[in-house]
């Protein structure tokens, strides 16, 4: 019997955030039924407050045998991103 990862090395893909609050960051996700998600969500802290951000697929490509998918920020469906840079 084999383990779920043996013989199936292409079960993950790399997520690249092209804009929005997570711009320039990457993440690793698991392929479901051999495919990536066209829309993903991420929870991140902005100014010490957790926010939910939605990202939509822009394009995908293979890099050194691994799937890389670029995602763009969907500001309409995401929590507002407000920075309080002004002193109180």
Residue 69 inside a domain? The answer is no
Q: Is the pLDDT score of 48 beyond 50?
A: yes
Q: Which of 8-12, 40-44, 72-76 has the lowest mean pLDDT?
A: 8-12
Q: How many CB atoms lie within 10 A of CB 69?
A: 19
Residue 20 inside a domain? The answer is yes
pLDDT in tens, 14-45: 999 999 999 999 999 999 999 999 999 999 88
Give the mean model confidence (pLDDT) for residues 3-10.
Answer: 51
Q: What is the pLDDT, as a whole number, of residue 2?
A: 42
Residue 56 inside a domain? The answer is yes
Domain count for the chain, please give it.
1
32-65 CB burial, b ≥16 within 10 A, e <16: eeeebbeebebebeeeeeebebbbeeeebeeeee
């Amino acid at each position: 019997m084999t383990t779920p990862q043996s013989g199936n090395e292409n079960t993950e893909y790399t997520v690249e955030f092209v804009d929005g609050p997570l711009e320039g960051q990457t993440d690793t996700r698991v392929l479901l039924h051999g495919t990536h998600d066209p829309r993903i969500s991420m929870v991140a802290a902005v100014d010490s407050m957790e926010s939910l951000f939605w990202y939509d697929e822009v394009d995908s490509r293979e890099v050194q045998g691994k799937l890389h998918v670029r995602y763009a920020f969907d500001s309409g469906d995401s929590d507002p991103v407000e920075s309080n840079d002004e002193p109180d």
